[in-house]
Structure 1
Amino acid sequence: MMIMFGAGGTGGHISPALSIARELIANDCKVCFVGNKNSLESKMCAESGLSFLPIYVQKLYRKITIAHLAFPYHLINSTFSVCKYIRQYRPDLVFCTGGFVSGPVAIAAIITKTPLYFHESNSFPGITIRLLGRYAKQIFTASDSVSRFFPAHKTTKVGIPINAAITTPHPFDPAAFGMSQTAPKLLIVGGSQGSLAINKTIDHIVPDLLNDGYEVFWQTGKSSYDLYSQKYSNTKGVFIFGFSQDLPTFYQNSTLAIARAGAMTISELEAVKLPAILIPLPTSAENHQYHNAVEQQQKGLAVLLEQKSLTPATLRELIRHLNDNHDEFVNRLNSLPENKSVTRIVSILLPNHNEARNITC
């Protein structure tokens, strides 16, 4: 059985697809990924040893820009490229995880009558899935709020596929990161690119956090790493990183987190039962991070802090709130069912696609 994935643009779109792909491979399936050349998805697929088929598709920007004039050309050209890939590799199904990269992949699946599946991680579906979801055989969702956009018989709530490494126990030596054994750890996750707004605010309150007894795992992102790693190079209890393979270890050994509100980040926080302050990226597509954070706050699993309200004072106040109510947040997180999204999705995909198809393009 061959499955073609359309996933790219952000880690939140790519990581779930990679997790599903690994499980499919474990079940003797073949997989291939379609995405932009020299992109995050091409890098992550190469690191995972997965077949990658390049296209060039342009995202739709939310502001008016001359770049939009090239969008139709790139969309049509990339769609025909995917049609050729489908004719060559003959996938039994196409699986897309949303985002602009999924657009031409999904359209090519529709044109070639290849069974199409979507997974929507966010609480508010993106434009690709909203426009093309009607043609999908099944839409897997992470949130009940997404289901209202599609026919009930097409949606299945499964949660968000996560990398098993997030919950697999890892040995932890605090001294290797300049930390103590007993101090509570605060994890700041601004994403691989980092967040200037979050970084500047954390920079203001680091002395206060250390005085309060916290130690800090701080993902500054690539752009700010040099600045803050030099500034805090001799500060005990602060570990600065741009990206680290030890991130699962940091998740598992932290007491609280400060993070953006991407669906993947939220799913990982839930998996390791980590209370968090969620600061949505205000420029996220369809403002989906805000909707994600609102839903988590309503469930009592995290607290929302909009970036426009982010100051050293408001952040410290919410850290105290999470600390004072830590047990209540952890109890609610512990009441969540185990994340079995990957196995549920694969168990639905495999029994339904075992017959050869005729492909027209």
Structure 2
Amino acid sequence: MNDIRVLVVDDSAFMRKMITDMIQTSKGMSVVDTARNGQQALDKIRSLKPDVVTLDVEMPVLDGLSVLREIMNTEPIPVIMLSSLTQHGADATIKSMELGAVDFVSKPSGSISLDIDNVKEELINKIHMAYQANLQKKPAHYQVKNTKQFLYHRNLIAIGVSTGGPKALQILLNQLPQELASPVIVIQHMPASFTKSLARRLNQLSSLTVKEADHGEILKQGTVYIAPGGKQLTVKKVGQTLVINIDLSPTGIKHTPSVDYTYHSLSKLSDFNLINVILTGMGSDGTNGLKQIKQSQPSHYIIAESEETSVIYGMPKSAIENVGADAVLPINKIGEALTELVVQKGES
């Protein structure tokens, strides 16, 4: 297998060198060239045709978002954004995910991070992942394997998602009606500084209310709750209502937030129809939680995103192969399916 050819784009000579050194010393990849501004980046992308681009959000001449938009409008290639941890950096990063960037890496200490080598492992892993990303979406062949009559009158939709999530969530939530007869919780793998920006952006684009979840709040129909980055979200029943619990993650759990961690808490609920959705993402987070829900919940439904529209097919594939799905659907059909499911009336 040939090395993954990476173009490094950053306006700082120090950052270009540091990122180049991290990539060049990593097995299976090499830096084909570097660029110091957006226009130079576009010129080198056209001539060198790299496999993956690392792209700084903030650059002179042509900023990172403008470069990304041009890449995705002409000949899409996988892009990893490098972002500062500022509020502006977080907002721009969420916008870049919406435009089609595969993922992002946060610079630890600003636009020029002397400690950038602290994120070397994350960057290398995400370059490998980006190289596998599906950017050329194909028409999807979808299937509804099982139709079910729910047992209860109340519903809870829970969505697990990772790489490619912000864009997928935008598509899905835009299909849901304002009067949706269910609360929605979203577990998106994302650092602490970014989930608030994600919630704010999705709230602007959706007819539903979208917010970052707060500890102790009662779940309401027609509201989408984004799990805060860096923490874990669980749901418990208090009387006849569902209440959100936010806590620090126990040691040994890879993802914060974790889909499995949330789904395990849902498996203990009673008198609710649980509708679980697994979208694009690397790995298998969500699979173990779905197993527990399937074993303990008499009224549940599982939807997995189809391979054709998943940026990374890891999480949906794992769920389908290890748990089974009642429906396998492209992202543009999942909102419609959810809307139809929540209007069903249970027997109790």
TM-score, normalised with respect to structure 1: 0.32
More strand by share: 2
